[in-house]
Structure 1
Amino acid sequence: MSLQTRAQVMSKPILHDPLRDSSAASDPRQAEAPAGPRCPAGQEMARVLKTQPLRLAADPSSGAIAYWKHDALHDVVRPMVDHVVMSYPAGSQRLERRTGKVASIGTARSGVVTIIPAGSTSRWDIHQSLHVVQLYLPHATLARVAGEADTAAPGDLLERTGHPDPITSRLLLSAADALEGSAALDALFRQQLTDLLATRLLSAHAGVPATVQATVGGLAPTALRRVIERLRSDSDADVSLGALAAEAGLSRFHFCRAFKESTGLSPHAWLRQHRLEQAMNMLRDTDASVVSIAAALGYSSQTAFAAAFRKLTGETPSDWRRRLR
Structure 2
Amino acid sequence: MSFRPLLGDGRIRAREERSEAIQTASWIGSSIIFDNRRWACRDAELRWTAPHHLIVLTEDGGTSETSIRSEGKSLYDGRDRPGNLTFVPAGAERLGYYRDVDLSYSALWIDPDLGLPECERLRDMPILVNKSDSVIAALLGSLRDEIALGHKPDTAYVEHLAALVSLRVAALNRVQTPAVRHGHLSRRMLARIRDYIDANLTSDISLTELAAVAGMAVDNFARRFKTTTGLAPYAYVIEERIRRAEMLLRETDMLLSAIAFRCGFSSQSHFTATFRRLRRMTPRVYRTHFSPES
> What TM bracket, shorter-length normalisation?
0.7 to 0.9
Q: 1:109 aligns with which of 69, 82, 86?
A: 82
Distance in 1 (alpha carbons) for counterparts of 2:227 and 2:181: 9
Structure with more helix by fraction: 1
The DSSP-based 3-state class of the residue aligned with 1:196 is helix
CA contact (8 A) 1:64 1:137 kept: yes
The DSSP-based 3-state class of the residue aligned with 2:185 is coil
Q: Find out whether 1:88 has 2:61 as its counterpart.
A: no
The aligned residue for residue 288 of structure 1 is 254
For residue 210 of structure 1, report the CA deviation from its aligned partner. Answer: 4.0
Q: Calculate the TM-score normalised by the size of structure 1.
A: 0.74
Q: Residues 227-306 of structure 1: matches in 2 within 5 Å? A: 227-234=193-200, 239-306=205-272
Structure with more strand by fraction: 2
Distance in 2 (alpha carbons) for counterparts of 1:288 and 1:239: 24
Distance in 2 (alpha carbons) for counterparts of 1:234 and 1:122: 45
For residue 154 of structure 1, report the CA deviation from its aligned partner. Answer: 5.4
Q: AA paired with 1:211?
A: T
Q: Which runs of 5+ in 2 are unaligned?
A: none
The DSSP-based 3-state class of the residue aligned with 2:162 is helix
The DSSP-based 3-state class of the residue aligned with 1:88 is strand
For residue 107 of structure 1, report the CA deviation from its aligned partner. Answer: 3.5
The DSSP-based 3-state class of the residue aligned with 2:49 is coil
Q: Find out whether 1:189 has 2:193 as its counterpart.
A: no
Distance in 2 (alpha carbons) for counterparts of 1:245 and 1:61: 20
Q: 1:67 aligns with which of 32, 36, 42?
A: 36
The aligned residue for residue 201 of structure 1 is 169
The DSSP-based 3-state class of the residue aligned with 1:277 is helix
Q: Calculate the TM-score normalised by the size of structure 2.
A: 0.80
Q: Per-residue displacement from partner, 1:94-117 (whole Å, max 9, x unpaired)?
A: 56123146242243323x411223
For residue 273 of structure 1, report the CA deviation from its aligned partner. Answer: 0.9
Q: Per-residue displacement from partner, 1:272-316 (whole Å, max 9, x unpaired)?
A: 111111111111111111121112112232222222222222322
Identity of aligned residues (%): 24
CA root-mean-square deviation: 3.4
Distance in 2 (alpha carbons) for counterparts of 1:246 and 1:234: 14
Q: AA paired with 2:38?
A: K
Distance in 2 (alpha carbons) for counterparts of 1:302 and 1:237: 15
Q: Which runs of 5+ in 1 are unaligned?
A: 1-22, 32-38
Q: Per-residue displacement from partner, 1:129-187 (whole Å, max 9, x unpaired)?
A: 3221111122334x851598xxxx6554322222122233333333444458676x621
CA contact (8 A) 2:276 2:282 kept: yes
Which stretch shifts more, 160-169 or 187-196?
160-169
Change (3 A) 1:55 1:146: closer
The DSSP-based 3-state class of the residue aligned with 1:108 is coil
For residue 45 of structure 1, report the CA deviation from its aligned partner. Answer: 11
Q: 2:109 aligns with which of 115, 121, 136?
A: 136
CA contact (8 A) 1:181 1:305 kept: no
